[in-house]
Amino acid sequence: MTARVQREIAEIKNLLLQMSALVEEAVRTSILAWQQKNPELAQRVIEHDWEIDEMENKIDSLVLKTLVLQQPMAVDLRFLTSSMQIAEQLERVGDHAVNIAEKVHELSTDTSSLSTASPGLKEMANHAIAMLGDSINSFVYADSNLAWEVKERDKVVDELYIQVVNDEIDSVEAQRLEIRAGIYHIILALNIERIADLATNIAEDVIFFVEGRLVRHTFGKEEPIKEEPSSTEAEEEYPCPSPIGDTKRREPLECLENHSKYVADCFEEARGALSAYFEGEEKLFEAISEKVSELEHAADLISRNVRAHLPKGIIMPIDKFELFLYLQEEDNIADTAEDIIEWLSYKRVDLPDDLKDKLYDLYAMCLSICQDLKPIIHAARTYFQTGDEDVRTHIKDKILALRRREHEADLVEHELKKMIFDKVSEPLAVMYTLRLVELIGRAADHAENAADILRSMIAR
């Protein structure tokens, strides 16, 4: 491939990524406008549709120019022809988003309630949005395995579409006054079903681009061509995004969820070291110290791999800088666990039983706060895939509860410090124990910071 062709292909790919972002945002916004019965959001989709059309024209012009002047061959030719097809499919997805938005205007003046819609309609929307996002990412990663998955999932949306139509017909027959609402819901279902079909078409274009196979109008999955893992991946014990022997590509938020598990496990193991310290079990303390070090290394490896393997052009509904800040706060929790063990190894102190019990209570509170990050990030993955406002509300409630518990941990920490001054007489032991309390409390502080960053992510 000549340098000229390489530059033009890079430019086409960049334009496709920009267009994909615009289209995905249009679909999410139109679905949200429908769910909230919000004509202002709907109008935003309609007003910005010209940007998607203009992007398609730019891509088509550049592809045709490259085909005529550079005459590319093999994989480059497949990429260019697939790019035109993908741009066309994306533009049509944008049109269906506009169709949904236009219906929102009519629904907003209708007295019928959207709650009467078939439950399958919302499920259809979630599946269609997820399929669109995965089809785009299959193109970004040149991942034909993910494209095959999208193609297989289209039948789920088709089945839901039939269910929605039947539900709405039954509803109309039972309540004659709901005829207009039933028609609206069927039209919405039709547009959503078409978005899923177009996402499938994009996936089929990706399969052609990557594998050189024409799979349009075929049924059943052919065995895709799978690449062997690189030697670098084979050497890593905790690889991310692609574990050893697993051809499924891990998206960054899934890596964050795995990362949060190792971080929480690391801090939980350190609690055992604290108990071994006060009970004078030196060998157990050393064994736990090594385990904490291994878990911290595993978390750190995932963190590095997320940063190293995140493609510059990846389509994500979150800011990459915020993603890295979130990772940093979680890394700080694992580092704090190592700091606690290191600090305990410096000096032996004996504390009254009631003071030790209070210290254990504080640790349990901070550990619980750190462990809550994993289910929160799991819910965030669901929200970013579906745009479900109920899930978003659930996340906000969980973060608010985490903040309240962190405040309660602060109160316990302050109470502990007062007890230290009252019950510990040796100045050096006072300083040493105060520092230990602050280290334990620091983990909850970092967990709260991570939750606040995640709150910022879902607010975008």
Confidence of residue 341 (pLDDT cuts 50, 70, 90): very high
Task: Give me the amino acid identity at 381.
Answer: R
CA 414, distance to chain mean position in Å, is 36
Higher pLDDT, 310 or 37: 37
- Nearest by Cα to 332 from 383, 398, 283, 266: 266
Residue 186 has pLDDT above 60, yes or no: yes
pLDDT category at 242 given cuts 50, 70, 90 is very low
Other beta carbons less than 10 A from residue 172's beta carbon: 18
Percent of the chain with pLDDT over 70: 82
Cβ pair 398, 372 in contact under 8 A:
yes
Q: Mean pLDDT, to the nearest integer, of 340-369? A: 92
- Across the range 10-35, mean pLDDT stands at 85
Decide if pLDDT at 19 tops 50.
yes
CB 412 within 8 Å of CB 362: yes
Average pLDDT over every residue of 236-240: 45
27 pLDDT more than 50? yes
Q: Which fold has domain 3-210?
A: Methane Monooxygenase Hydroxylase; Chain G, domain 1 (1.20.58)
Residue 443: left if φ>0, alpha if ψ -120 to 50, beta else—which one? alpha
Supply the DSSP string of 273-314, one letter for each residue: HHHHHHHT-HHHHHHHHHHHHHHHHHHHHHHHHHHHH--TT-
Res. 215: pLDDT tops 70: no
Q: What is the pLDDT of residue 302?
A: 81
User: Average pLDDT, stretch 226-251?
Assistant: 43
Phi then psi for 226, rounded to 5 degrees? -115, 135
Q: What is the pLDDT of residue 176?
A: 52
Are 3-210 and 250-458 in the same CATH fold? yes
Residue 417 has a pLDDT of 92
More confident residue, 215 or 181: 181
Q: What is the domain partition of the chain in residue ranges?
A: 3-210, 250-458
> What is the token pair recorded at 13?
């790919």
What's the pLDDT score for residue 226? 43
Please give the Cα distance from 144 to 249 (Å, whole number).
11
Least confident of 8-12, 131-135, 164-168: 8-12
The CA distances from residue 376 to 383, 396, 458, in Å, are: 10, 9, 11
What CATH number has the domain spanning 250-458?
A: 1.20.58.220
Quickly list DSSP for 9-57: HHHHHHHHHHHHHHHHHHHHHHHHHHHHT-HHHHHHHHHTHHHHHHHHH
Check residue 420 and give its pLDDT.
92
* pTM of the predicted structure, to 2 decimals: 0.57
**Residue 373 near residue 260, CB atoms below 8 Å:** yes
pLDDT at 120: 82
Structure-token pair, residue 432: 């040493």
pLDDT of residue 385: 72
Whether the pLDDT of residue 69 is over 80: the answer is no
Mean local confidence (pLDDT), 285-309: 82
Query: Measured between alpha carbons, how far is residue 406 from residues 94, 176, 393, 400 in Å?
Result: 44, 53, 20, 10
Q: Position of tokens 């050189």?
A: 212
Report the pLDDT averaged over residues 123-152.
85
Greatest Cα pair distance in the chain: 86
Greater pLDDT, 127 or 108: 127
pLDDT tens, position by position, 374-433: 899 888 888 877 777 788 889 999 999 999 999 999 999 999 999 999 998 888 889 999
Q: What is the mean pLDDT of residues 55-82?
A: 78
Check whether 113 has a pLDDT greater than 50: no
Q: What is the dihedral of CA 241, 243, 244, 248, to 10 degrees?
A: -80
CA angle, 401 then 406 then 409, to 5°:
130
Task: Quote the pLDDT of residue 235.
Answer: 34
Please give the share of the chain, as a percent, with pLDDT higher than 90: 22
Secondary-structure percent of the chain, ordered helix, strand, coil, rounded to 5? 80, 0, 20
Q: Is residue 233 very low, low, confident or very high in pLDDT (cuts 50, 70, 90)?
A: very low
Give a three-class secondary structure readout of 159-191.
HHHHHHHHHHHHHHHHCHHHHHHHHHHHHHHHH
